[in-house]
Structure 1
Amino acid sequence: MSTAEYALGTVAACAFAAVLYVILTSSQVRDTLTSMLTDALQVGG
């Protein structure tokens, strides 16, 4: 692969990481994950 392809792949990976960061740090997702974890711990004991 050429340098341009590596650069494009790096930019795409960074963009994907930024989208995941925004999604996972949103309050709605955080509340949902917290609720799921709390429910799972209550079922176990």
Structure 2
Amino acid sequence: DLHLRAGSTPVIRINGELRPLAGAPKLNQDETLEMAFSMMSNRQK
């Protein structure tokens, strides 16, 4: 799983444990939306 939240570093789930994505910067709101929308279909947006 990939967890995104504006103002935070992306977090991934590995073997049930949440871990910050190494080397990733904190994302602002626009970056978070852009990343989330890139993984969604038009219907999901």
TM-score for both structures, normalised by structure 1: 0.29
More helix as a share of residues: 1
TM-score for both structures, normalised by structure 2: 0.29
Using CA pairs under 8 Å that are at least 6 residues apart, name the structure with larger relative contact order, 1 or 2.
Answer: 2
The structure that has the greater radius of gyration is 1
